[in-house]
Amino acid sequence: MGVAQKMATELTIASDLAEARRVQEQIEEALQASAYTEHDIFAIKLALEEALVNAIKHGNQMDPDKRVYVHYSITAERFDIRITDEGEGFNPEDVPDPTLEINIERPCGRGLLLMRGFMTEVEYHGRGNTVRMCKVRESAAS
């Protein structure tokens, strides 16, 4: 066996949902090329979409002059991604728990719950305008 390959990519995109979709497609192709399972790719795509939409809509307030910075790496064992927006940031602890009956009708918080459910790790850094997520590959986890 040779040395484990690691592919790392850094991107900067405008606060535009079409740009976010382009990044998602690029990452999906890279995961497929790295022979990730459909199950893992589905999970990563959902969490990734949520994180990018949050950065563009909530973080950058759809401001076309603000950027979203994406850094990701793929190895045989895991997928890591860091997404940073130029917004004010937020405290994830302040987001209402969507599973509580009192919040069941409120739309906020569901995306964060979804990201935590589909990824192995989800962490917020800085003032809350950077999210780091990783997904340990199914075969590597077992």
Q: What angle (nearest 5°) sits at the alpha carbon of residue 11, between those of residues 7 and 17?
A: 125
Encode pLDDT of 114-141 as tens digits: 899 999 999 999 888 999 999 999 765 5
Domain limits for position 60: 7-141
Whole-prediction pTM: 0.87
In a domain, 73, yes or no: yes
For the chain, how many structural domains are there in total? 1
Instruction: Answer whether residue 1 is part of any domain.
Output: no
Could you report the per-residue pLDDT of 3-36, keeping only the tens digit for each?
456 779 999 999 999 999 999 999 999 999 999 9
Name the pairing type of β-strands 130-136 and 67-74.
unpaired
Domain presence at residue 71: yes
| 18 found inside a domain | yes
Examine residue 2 and state whether it is found in any structural domain, yes or no: no
CATH number reported for the structural domain that contains residue 20 in this entry: 3.30.565.10
